[in-house]
Structure formats: C-alpha cells, structure tokens
Amino acid sequence: MVRLSVNINKIATIRNARGGNNPDLLKVAIDCERFGAQGITVHPRPDERHIRYQDVIDLKKIITTEFNIEGNPNKKFIELVEKALPNQVTLVPDADDAITSNAGWDTIKHKSFLTEVISHFKSLGIRTSIFLDPKRHLVDAAKSSGTDRIELYTEPYAKNFDVDKKKSIQDYIETASYANEIGLSINAGHDLDLNNLKYFKDNIPSLVEVSIGHALICDALYLGLENAIQMYLAQLKQ
C-alpha cells in the first residue's frame, strides 16, 4: 500500500489566524496518526505564516509514525533539520515569499548545491527526497546528487486530469519508470485529491508515498478528519 503522509500546514494556518492554540496542532498530528495516516508532513517557511519553527521541534517529540519536513534548504532550514532530525527531508526550491510550491528543482543547474546538502543530511541519518518536475532528463542529476527519492510535483497532473487524464499522467509514468530503473524511490505531492489520487496511484510504478494537505483538510471540513483520512487511505489500497 502507498503510504499517506498528512501535511498539517493548513491546521497551523487556522490556528495562527486567531492566535492561541485552537486548533491544537500537536493534537491534530496525533489524531491523524490515530486515524490511520502513516506520516506527518510540515513545510515551515521563513515567515512562519503557518508552521512555526518551534512547532517542528514540538512535533518531533510526539510523532510516532514518519516525520517529513519540506523546505528550501537555506541556513535557517538546515539548522532546524539538524535540531529536529526527521525521518525524511524533502528539498523544495520555493522562494521565501511563495504562497505554495510551484516548481521542482533544476537538478542539473543546482547539482553541486543539492549534492552538498544531501550529503550533510544523510550523514545525520535522514532520508532525502528532491521535489521534481516530471522530466526524465532531470532524474539522472537527481540520482547523482545522492538523494534516496524524488517527489513528483503533481500540480500539472491535477490541473489537466479532468481534461485528459491519460495525457496528464504520461510524463509522470515515464519519469517514474526511469527513476525506478536507476534505483530511486518515488514520492508524490501537490493538489492530489479524492478525484485524481487513485488513478495516479494505479499508473505510477512503485509509488511509495504521497503527501497531501490542502485537499484533505478541505474535505475534512465536510467529512470530518477521521473520515477524510480513511477515504484517502482507501484510494491508496492495492
């Protein structure tokens, strides 16, 4: 079964809108695990507009499944990862003022930088994943950087799914197949939802993990958090 890691950024956004601690981010993380999620993902940004750096440290103490930290590996991010020591770091090349991630790495242009960062994180015993557009020519450079996995950036797939789902997934199939051939595991994330998740899972070879936040939390407003997580898990069953 493909693993589901729930991104809880949106929970932090709601909490921060009013101050205080409602909803309680730590309790939500524990409940997500209790409801069946196999991991928790956070993406702290420099302005801490949702996940705060202290949240990351606090979450590390209570998460019993897999802890995945996403972000652009600037100095502050690297220092945070060194303190938290998550199970996985997903490297994402978003600008400081990005509303949300909108592109994967140019692994050729940034190969030297990625290699250095990945080597450091792996020396700490942390699995690494590179956020990547579905372009086969970027996979070789990702592999040579030393990363364990790539995370396929799925917004283009999601945007075009209702127009032509076969065409929307073709580049992902080719990229994932090649990545598997050269020994890279596959994660995926961004705009995956109950409408497009199963088709993606069924067609991507050796998909290991998906990270889903925005759509799942939106569904939880209508369905309840436990029910929403169970419905996403059902889409990922073999």
Q: Sketch the domain layout of the chain as residue ranges.
A: 3-236
- The pair of structure tokens assigned to 93 is 């090349």
Q: What is the mean pLDDT of the chain?
A: 95
Active site residues: 43, 70, 190
- pLDDT of 238: 66
- pLDDT of 195: 97
Cα 26 from chain centroid (whole Å)? 19
- pLDDT of 97: 59
Average pLDDT rounded to a whole number, residues 190-207: 96
The residues, any chain, with a CB within 8 Å of residue 210's CB and separated by 6 or more, are 2, 3, 4, 5, 187, 188, 189, 192, 197, 201, 236
CATH level 3 topology of 3-236: TIM Barrel (3.20.20)
The residues, any chain, with a CB within 8 Å of residue 154's CB and separated by 6 or more, are 172, 188, 189, 190, 191, 192, 200
Average pLDDT rounded to a whole number, residues 43-71: 96
- pLDDT of 108: 95
The answer on pLDDT for 98 being more than 70 is no
Average pLDDT rounded to a whole number, residues 139-150: 97
Residue 92 pLDDT grade (very low, low, confident, very high; cuts 50, 70, 90): very high
